[in-house]
Amino acid sequence: MHRDRPVRRRAGPGCGRPARLVVLPRRVRVIAEPGRYIVGPAAIAVATVMGRARREGHWWYYLDDGLYGAYSGQLFDHARYPVEPLRDGAERLPSVLAGPTCDSIDVIAENLMLPQLKVGDLVVGRAMGAYTWACATEFNFFPKPTVVAVNRGPGDPGGVTALAP
């Protein structure tokens, strides 16, 4: 027996276009895992500059998080997370963001134009809501990043609560 099933199709979050119904033949099996699409924008990661070095014309900034931590999606899923420092500066310099492990692949981003950062400055990774903490490891004894919930729902005035690992 041939039955068609309606499926809602969206153009993307915040696109301003309404969802529409698409009819697929019953023999078509849809398998979807929309985790990153749905919850990716729900979280940010904040890392601290632990060290810095000038190497081959680039500033290398070593953060307290990296590919073995919250940025593991870059390694395992080929995800790319937008990163930005919480420091302004008129002059932008060629820079590299690296993780803390001293492993040669622990590089978050290369060829970024960033203001000159100092130890203690913060770097924000955006769209970090899917698979980041769940896939993080404690490679070279660096602990997983701490997860905190800031707003629990609409109208919540906010607060910070550490989540147990």
Domains of the chain listed by start with CATH number = 4-37 (no CATH), 40-141 (2.40.37.10)
DSSP calls for 96-143: EEE-SS--TT-EEEEEEEEPPP-TT-EEEE-S--SSTTTT---GGGPP
* Active-site residue, selected from the candidate residues 21, 30, 90, 102: 102
Active site residue 102: yes
pLDDT in tens, the chain (165 residues): 445 554 555 444 444 445 566 788 888 888 877 777 777 777 888 999 999 999 999 999 999 999 988 898 888 888 888 999 998 888 999 999 999 998 899 999 999 999 999 999 999 998 887 777 777 777 877 888 777 766 667 777 666 555 555
Question: Residue 144's closest CA among 134, 136, 152?
Answer: 136
Strand ranges in 4-73 using DSSP code E only, listed in sequence order: 4-9, 20-25, 45-55, 58-63
pTM for this model (two decimals): 0.71
